[in-house]
Amino acid sequence: MNYVQTLAYLFPNLNPPFDYSVGINESGEQYISAWNVEDPAQPTEETLTATSDKAAAHFEQLVLVGVVQSIMDAKAQSYHYDNLTTAVTYADEPAVPKFQQEGQAFRAWRSQVWATAYSILADVQAGSRTFPTVSEVPGLLPAFPLDPAA
């Protein structure tokens, strides 16, 4: 169990190390070394244990979402857009056919990428695969259809 993740999940408005601190004892076990707020009360070991799986799943999702969004934004930037959001805005703009085609391709690709990412996350949470490393994620996602190699 990761106390830091679990506490951040339970108490997103608290600010470590000001509101609480986590230590590690000689046996390598984590413990709350300081709790500097009255409300909320310091959680019990039972609460932390019961919540740790939910916290881990929550942080896995945050990590995967951040990595996937960065990949898509970088791809849009390689086509000279500010980010994916900007690229997608061109999907319904017929004034310049090239931009409209790219916008439509980015919009469709975005949906395929998110479907794949959430499928990966479901497999991780079901225990049928390990959480991918940051370097593995791009290879697990659909290729952008307008890339020469696609």
Q: Are 125 and 57 in contact (CB under 8 A)?
A: yes
Which pLDDT tens digit goes with each residue over 76-113?
Answer: 999 999 999 999 999 999 999 999 999 999 999 999 99
Q: Which of 149, 148, 145, 150 has its CA nearest to residue 102?
A: 145
Angle, helices 3-10/45-78, rounded to nearest 10 degrees: 90
Nearest Cα to 53, choosing from 115, 1, 107, 105? Answer: 1
Residues found in the chain: 150
The predicted model scores a pTM of: 0.77
- pLDDT digits over 29-51, tens only? 889 999 999 899 999 988 998 89
Q: What is the mean pLDDT of residues 44-60?
A: 88
Asked if 104 contacts 116 with a C-beta cutoff of 8 angstroms, the reply is no
